[in-house]
Amino acid sequence: MLRMRKKLQNKNEPEHKEFFMILFNAFRYNPAAATSLCFMSQEYELAYRILNTFGLEFEISQNVLLGFCKLASMIESPGFLCNFSYLF
């Protein structure tokens, strides 16, 4: 998990953008997932834009907030790392 975080957080590395885009393309269908990925990757401007768009178009409900919590737990789980270990 630490390697994945470092890879996402190190914006100076040439592979950062490619790795981020691979994950973002998978997460983009869920605003909670996409926003969490942006926060992990320190892509704050994109996270702001997602939240701003999402907030204008939809009401942020308890279910949406629970989605953020579940996603954070999933990202921290060992199963998540096994599924993406081939990217490292």
Per-position b or e across 2-24, b if 16+ CB within 10 A of its CB: eebeebbeeeeeeebeebbeebb
Q: What is the mean pLDDT of the chain?
A: 76
**Model pTM score:** 0.62
Query: How confident is the model at residue 1, as a pLDDT?
Result: 57
- Tell me how far apart the alpha carbons of residues 28 and 54 are, in angstroms, rounded to a whole number: 12
**Given this model, what pLDDT does residue 24 score?**
92
**What confidence tens digit (pLDDT) does each residue in 28-40 have?**
888 878 888 888 8
Per residue in 46-66, pLDDT tens? 988 988 887 666 676 777 777
d(CA 25, CA 57): 21
Q: Is residue 86 over pLDDT 60?
A: no
Q: Are 32 and 71 in contact (CB under 8 A)?
A: yes
